[in-house]
Amino acid sequence: MAYINDIIDGMNEAQSDLGNPQFIWNGISYPCIPSVNQFERELETGGFIVDKLLTMTVPLTDGNGNQTFPNNTAPDTQQLIQYLGEPYRIKSTKYHPTLAYIRLVAVCTTRGI
């Protein structure tokens, strides 16, 4: 259990270093450590379609034992989230074995999953 607290402490420090980024799910803001990548995916008339891939690490507690998400209900696949004013659809949700955090992978809402 002690090293779970180390993980959460490290995540809190990283979030602070990044300016405390947040994403919105169901109208509520939550802390995260984000990574956004743009990539060219398919060749269409006029060039490649540019997509965005959003990967976020989200702590499941705040370090004091308080749950990040109410009633242990975290974002799940196909649900919509918003980051920096842009909507994304969750493609996958992966829980760390210690349940210290989850990893969300999301794509543009205009792309099929």
Q: How confident is the model at residue 48 (pLDDT cuts 50, 70, 90)?
A: low
pLDDT tens figures, 82-101:
999 999 999 999 999 988 99
- For each of the domains in the chain, give its residue range(s) and CATH number, in order of start: 2-108 (2.40.10)
Asked whether 84 and 18 are in contact (CB, 8 A), the reply is no
- Quote the pLDDT of residue 113: 47
- Quote the pLDDT of residue 43: 65
Q: What is the pTM of this model?
A: 0.82
